[in-house]
Amino acid sequence: MTGRLTALDAARRIADGSLTSEALVRACLERIRAREPVVQAWQHLDMDAALMMARQVDRFGSGPLKGIPVGVKDIIDTADMPTGYGSSLYETFRPPRDAACVALARLAGALILGKTVTTEFAYFQPGKTRNPHDPDRTPGGSSSGSAAAVASGMVPLAFGTQTAGSIIRPASFCGCVGYKPTFGLIDRSGVHPFADSLDTVGVFATTVGDAAFFASVIAGRPNLRIKDEVFRPRIGLTRPYAWEAAEPATARALDEAAARLGTVGLEVCEVALPERWRGLLEAQKTIMAFEAARSHAPEMLTASDRLSMKLRELLEAGVLIAPEDYDAARALVAEARAGFSDVLDGFDVLLTPSAPGEAPEGLGATGDPVFNRMWTALGVPCISVPGLTGPTGMPIGVQVVGRWGDDRRALAASAAIGQSLS
């Protein structure tokens, strides 16, 4: 990236005329030429068209995101680019209009650089993308291309989505910032549905400040932006249920993060989660399977043989879930969400793992979202903050979790934590 600019710096320089969108896009394309043959983050990219758009933006564009290149996960509709949803069923599909988040980015002056690889319908069947730090390891999923593209320096900002752990996990594996907002903060119309009460649009960036800036524009919430004043968050460290899934690298990383935060004077105290919350992992699985079976009924009806075995098994299981079991899962989530403020009493945010460990070796799977499912079910804001590494030198993120609707505080706390870990 030009001078390793952050998106915020690039936006300021484009606004004052010291940088053009064309120059920034050219720098991105140079990086893509260098890294894409190995990383394979892009599903659709027209370099000539990108440069043409950059020139048009330089002449006629306006808005807070003027000239900033953005990657769009290929589960999100774009009217001027193919949208394949990671499935051969839609490999030639071109939507009639942009998804709301894409349209809002364009209205704010952003340049949609291309479509990034997603897993099949944003579930677990991997795409072609490889981890930018080790091509023999997974980048995570389902927002694999977006995380890898940002972490590789191919693009400063990208959209992702999360239904279980599809933003936080790949951000951790690839070593960039992943921000899953409070459920519904960013409009998701035009995003192929998977599970209606879980699907959340979020963003990837190289810094928390960039992620907050991007989301603030798309969501129309300027208060999300990171302020210059010093914020010293009170942090509750929690080892969530299914802690046995944490690899030694993650356990050490969480302890290291707490120690580093303590050395700069931030308050970090252990927090135990309510016993009743132990059931939230299974509740999220139940909700996801039940809703996915219904949202993918058209594909099951007309082309079930062209779906991966992983997806077909989930959809078939979802059909068999009794409505009362689904309702009970939703009720448990609602109860836990209502009591979340009590768990955070005395703290600004929780600190917890982003993933079980470093990115696993091999490309046949995308890793386990075990440390993401509960927070996604609750719909609360989550940010994966990079800065730590595991025993093989691969990135490990820590996850910052905030109260429902209090994304501003969660982002500000994440920025402070990120500064301590960098």
166 is catalytic: yes
Asked if 23 and 2 touch (Cβ cutoff 8 Å), the reply is yes
Short-list 104, 121, 102, 124, CA closest to 113: 102
SS3 track for 173-229: HHCCEEEECCCCCCCCCCECCCCCCCCEEEEEECCHHHHHHHHHHHHCCHHHCCCCC
Residue of 21, 143, 166, 354 marked catalytic = 166
d(CA 385, CA 411): 10
φ, ψ (nearest 5 deg) of residue 352: -155, 165
d(CA 72, CA 267): 37
Tokens of 174: 């690839």
Asked if 236 and 347 touch (Cβ cutoff 8 Å), the reply is yes
User: How many other C-beta atoms can be found within 10 angstroms of the C-beta atom of residue 37?
Assistant: 9
Q: Which residues of 103-131 are buried (b: 16+ CB within 10 A; e: fewer)?
A: bbbbebbbbbbbbbbbbbbbbbbbbebbb
Tokens of 248: 């030694």
Asked if 398 and 420 touch (Cβ cutoff 8 Å), the reply is no
Short-list 215, 106, 205, CA closest to 153: 205
Residue of 21, 142, 146, 384 marked catalytic = 142
73 is catalytic: yes
Residue of 21, 66, 73, 115 marked catalytic = 73
Tokens of 246: 């944490």
Short-list 390, 383, 393, CA closest to 352: 383
420 is catalytic: no
d(CA 139, CA 162): 15
d(CA 392, CA 96): 46
Strands (E), 74-189: 111-116, 157-162, 177-180
Q: What is the largest CA-CA distance in the chain?
A: 60
Burial class (CB in 10 A: 0-12, 13-18, 19+), 234: middle
Short-list 317, 358, 369, CA closest to 143: 369
Residue type, position 204, single letter? F
Q: Which positions are annotated as active-site residues? A: 73, 142, 166
